[in-house]
Amino acid sequence: MKLKKIKTFVVGNPPPHFGGRYWIFLKLTTDKDIIGYGEVYSVPFHPKIVSKMIEDVFERYVKNKDPFKIEKLWRTIYSSGYTQRPDISLMGIISGIEMACWDIIGKELNKPIYELLGGQVNKKLRSYTYLYPKKSDKTDVYTNPSLAAERANEYIDQGFDAIKFDPVGAYTPLDPRQLSLEELVKIEIFVKKIHDSVKNKCDLLIGTHGQMNTACAIRLAKRLEKFDPMWFEEPVPPENFDEMGKVASSTTIPIATGERLATKYEFSKILQSKGASILQMNLGRAGGILEAKKIAGLAETHYAQIAPHLYCGPIVGAANIQISTCSPNFLILEGIKNWENFYSEILVDPIKWEKGYVIPSTKPGLGVELNERIAAKYSYDGTKLHLEMAKI
């Protein structure tokens, strides 16, 4: 079997844009007309440029290759241009192509990918959602602790027993920074209000985005320890593993990180620095499905767990489900609420979610198919990137 064609889709995610402004999907087709889908996560260039980059990599290194030869294909692309380092742009492209190859392999063998990577371990996958605003909100849910507590209880009523939120506020190009005492007190009050409202019915996940420097992150962690969060996410930027380790060693709250990391090499460094005990690799950036399995294996040797990241489209979501299903150190899966609305519309058949859990598909490959008619209908024509920092 040989890979013959590629097609990319840049899909605008309709308002309110939960999951990002757009998603970049790709479709590989073999000489046997077997189709595989992949997704590229948040490459920091305009998506039309990214599509050209994907096509270039395909023409140079992927066309006419055997999709079963994952390791050789991965190493060839990873080494292109004499790189051999975790460049997130190239890694995003590798991830999408590798994901699509696994989809093809699973379809050819008539097996879900998780059955080809050790077999099913988890029959259902605990999931969480961010705390999201509603159109009807009169105030910002992230500045109104009472509204945030109300929203958290609404999610509990739907079946969630874990909810994530970022109480620190906007992330900027000048991060990391030291928050004022007033800001720290406001954050503590915000978390306390939610904690006291949900009582013990729900784990709280503190989802910061590297806004703080090490000293500030430690100060905030001390304030939040009494609420016993499940994790404190990316308290400092991902560039300095040793500083993340200092935060981890200074608090009883588990540290989670990984959405901005790529490859087993970077995840190995964060484990060696004892910077995190929960790894949040995004399979559309970290290197794909097999690389994620290797990262999960590294984590297992440190008694660390995996909680795959999702702030993108449902093809990455489907890949996350595959790796979570076959990993014994799986902790929890990120979702955009309950995988409804556009997350269902863009797929031929939606991902199955029941009372706080994702139910892994038994269909071959990724277990999902892109609805290409919907993908074409919502083609992205904006100028902004998937995610952008606050202006300064």
Predicted confidence band at 244 (pLDDT cuts at 50, 70, 90)? very high
Q: Is 135 helix (H, G, I), strand (E, B) or coil?
A: coil
pLDDT for the residue numbered 142: 94
Contact 114, 325 (CB under 8 A): yes
pLDDT for the residue numbered 218: 98
Predicted confidence band at 19 (pLDDT cuts at 50, 70, 90)? very high
**How far apart (Å, rounded) are the C-alpha atoms in residues 110 and 100?**
15
Domains of the chain (ranges, CATH numbers): 3-110 (3.30.390.10), 115-364 (3.20.20.120)
pLDDT for the residue numbered 161: 97
pLDDT for the residue numbered 133: 93
pLDDT for the residue numbered 356: 97
- Give the distance, in angstroms, between the CA of residue 269 and the centroid of all CA atoms in the same chain: 19
Provide the β-strand partners of residue 37: 27
CA dist 319 → 45, 65, 251 (Å): 23, 22, 32
Count the neighbouring beta carbons within 10 Å of the beta carbon of residue 115. Answer: 17
Predicted confidence band at 74 (pLDDT cuts at 50, 70, 90)? very high
Closest CA to 202 of 122, 126, 139: 126
pLDDT for the residue numbered 384: 96
Residue in the structure block whose two tokens are 């990180």: 257
Please report, to the nearest 10 degrees, the dihedral formed by the alpha carbons of residues 122, 281, 236, 91 taken in order. Answer: 180
**How far apart (Å, rounded) are the C-alpha atoms in residues 314 and 99?**
13
Which pairs count as long-range contacts for 142-148, CB under 8 Å and 24+ apart, including other chains?
Answer: 142/166, 142/167, 142/169, 142/190, 145/189, 145/190, 145/192, 145/193, 145/194, 146/193, 148/190, 148/193, 148/194
Q: What is the pLDDT of residues 262-301, one digit of tens each?
A: 999 999 999 999 999 999 999 999 999 999 999 999 999 9
In percent, the amount of the chain with pLDDT more than 70 equals 100
The amino acid that residue 212 corresponds to is M
**How far apart (Å, rounded) are the C-alpha atoms in residues 308 and 356?**
16
Collect all residues with Cβ–Cβ distance below 8 Å to 235 and sequence separation of at least 6. 208, 210, 212, 217, 220, 221, 244, 247, 255
Q: What is the pLDDT of residues 175-226, one digit of tens each?
A: 999 999 999 999 999 999 999 999 999 999 999 999 999 999 999 999 999 9
CA dist 284 → 235, 247, 260, 290 (Å): 22, 27, 11, 12
Collect all residues with Cβ–Cβ distance below 8 Å to 219 and sequence separation of at least 6. 179, 184
Q: What is the pLDDT of residues 320-373, one digit of tens each?
A: 999 999 999 999 999 999 999 999 999 999 999 999 999 999 999 999 999 999
CA dist 302 → 246, 274, 295 (Å): 17, 9, 11
Contact 231, 254 (CB under 8 A): yes
pLDDT for the residue numbered 270: 98
**How far apart (Å, rounded) are the C-alpha atoms in residues 360 and 94?**
24
For range 154-164, the mean pLDDT: 97
Predicted confidence band at 15 (pLDDT cuts at 50, 70, 90)? very high
pLDDT for the residue numbered 82: 95
pLDDT for the residue numbered 169: 93
Closest CA to 317 of 50, 19, 14: 19
User: Following DSSP, what letter does each residue of 168-189 receive, concatenated?
Assistant: S----TT-SBPPPHHHHHHHHH
Collect all residues with Cβ–Cβ distance below 8 Å to 298 and sequence separation of at least 6. 264, 267, 268, 271
Q: Which helix (H) or strand (E) holds 48?
A: helix 47-57
For range 106-110, the mean pLDDT: 98
